[in-house]
């Protein structure tokens, strides 16, 4: 249990709100576990029919909590981050996302697993792994080229620059753009419409739309192994300490 993930049932939609505004909704291990629990709750035969993930009005999530990356961690086995990623990637429950403000790192890559993504005009997206001396995660090295082609995927993952809603719509990461502060309202309408569909047929449709789960699971696990190795690199440590100390990284420490 954590107060940083709030779950509320609205008719047959489980609204899951990332709620750690003082740290820009950066995700801790407890928060990953709570997100996994929420999806599992919806997987029950009589559970909520759709999960709607959202953040605050000014930030979706700043991604993984960088301070937790500074301790020795291995993202393998039943590590909460890996459990969440595998649950997100393999569940048959439809997932809708409503994005306001920044969606950084896993905040962007988790969207690759959502069935409908609505983003407000103030939303921004980024895959900054490379700038932290890290590598892609959440199956993004597989899903992003499938979504938008190799060149664009390489641009997004090799430069790590932030991009806005228009580009997110063009690459297919986002399905609809809404006015600022309206993404949740619109997402809830869509989620309820999905929740009105026959449950078994809807889940089967998602399964059919997302074949090759074994390949995706294997990629997520291998990315996490690489991620674990790169977390220990001098470049990653310097980049993360520099962020926490609010300074530019010393690039002489990069390999």
| 114 close to 136: Cβ distance less than 8 angstroms | no
Q: Which stretch binds ligand COA (CB under 6 A): 8-16, 97-105, 200-208, 214-222?
A: 97-105
Q: Nearest-CA neighbor of 67 among 227, 241, 223, 229?
A: 241
> Which residue among 38, 50, 96, 104 contacts ligand COA (CB under 6 A)?
104
- Under the binding rule (CB under 6 A), the answer on residue 26 touching ligand COA is yes
> Which residue among 48, 50, 60, 65 contacts ligand COA (CB under 6 A)?
65
> Which residue among 4, 38, 48, 64 contacts ligand COA (CB under 6 A)?
64
Closest CB 16 distance from ligand COA, rounded Å: 19
- Under the binding rule (CB under 6 A), the answer on residue 130 touching ligand COA is no
Output the six-digit token pair for 192: 């309820």
How is the beta sheet containing 124-126 ordered, strand by strand?
Answer: 59-61, 102-104, 124-126, 163-164
- Under the binding rule (CB under 6 A), the answer on residue 238 touching ligand COA is no
* Residue nearer to ligand COA on the CB measure, 92 or 167: 167
| 58 close to 101: Cβ distance less than 8 angstroms | yes
**CA atoms of 18 and 35, how far apart (whole Å):** 9
> Which residue among 4, 24, 186, 219 contacts ligand COA (CB under 6 A)?
24
- What 3-state DSSP class applies to 59? strand
- Under the binding rule (CB under 6 A), the answer on residue 67 touching ligand COA is yes
- Under the binding rule (CB under 6 A), the answer on residue 128 touching ligand COA is yes
**CA atoms of 93 and 50, how far apart (whole Å):** 6
**CA atoms of 129 and 131, how far apart (whole Å):** 5
> Which residue among 15, 18, 51, 62 contacts ligand COA (CB under 6 A)?
62
Count the residues in the chain.
255
- Under the binding rule (CB under 6 A), the answer on residue 223 touching ligand COA is no
Closest CB 104 distance from ligand COA, rounded Å: 4
> Which residue among 17, 23, 152, 182 contacts ligand COA (CB under 6 A)?
23
Q: Which stretch binds ligand COA (CB under 6 A): 20-28, 115-123, 170-178, 222-230?
A: 20-28
* Residue nearer to ligand COA on the CB measure, 46 or 247: 247
Closest CB 147 distance from ligand COA, rounded Å: 19
Which segments of 110-233 does DSSP mark as H helices, in order? 140-148, 150-159, 165-171, 183-195, 199-209, 213-231
Cβ neighbors of 99 (< 8 A, separation 6 or more) are 54, 55, 60, 107, 111, 117, 118, 119, 120, 123, 174, 183
> Which residue among 6, 66, 70, 241 contacts ligand COA (CB under 6 A)?
66
Q: Which residues bind ligand COA (CB under 6 A)?
A: 23-24, 26, 62-67, 102, 104-105, 128-129, 132, 243
């Amino acid at each position: 249990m954590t107060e940083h993930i709030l779950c509320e049932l609205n008719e047959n939609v489980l609204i899951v709100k990332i709620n750690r505004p003082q740290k820009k909704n950066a995700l801790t291990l407890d928060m990953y576990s709570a997100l996994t629990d929420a999806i599992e709750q919806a997987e029950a035969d009589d559970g909520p029919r759709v999960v709607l993930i959202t953040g605050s009005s000014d930030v979706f999530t700043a991604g993984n909590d960088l301070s937790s990356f500074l301790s020795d961690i291995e993202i393998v086995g039943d590590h909460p981050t890996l459990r969440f990623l595998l649950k997100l990637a393999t569940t048959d429950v439809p997932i809708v996302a409503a994005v306001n403000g920044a969606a950084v790192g896993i905040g962007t890559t988790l969207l690759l697993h959502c069935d409908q993504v609505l983003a407000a005009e103030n939303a921004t997206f980024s895959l900054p792994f490379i700038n932290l001396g890290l590598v892609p995660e959440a199956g993004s090295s597989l899903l992003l080229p499938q979504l938008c082609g190799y060149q664009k995927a390489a641009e997004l993952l090799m430069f790590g620059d932030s991009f806005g809603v228009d580009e997110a719509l063009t690459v297919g990461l986002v399905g609809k753009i809404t006015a600022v502060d309206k993404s949740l309202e619109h997402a809830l309408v869509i989620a309820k419409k999905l929740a009105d569909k026959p449950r078994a047929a809807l889940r089967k449709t998602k399964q059919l739309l997302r074949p090759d789960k074994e390949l995706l699971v294997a990629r997520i696990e291998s990315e996490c192994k690489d991620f674990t190795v790169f977390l220990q690199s001098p470049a990653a440590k310097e980049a993360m300490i520099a962020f926490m100390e609010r300074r530019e990284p010393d690039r002489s420490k990069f390999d």
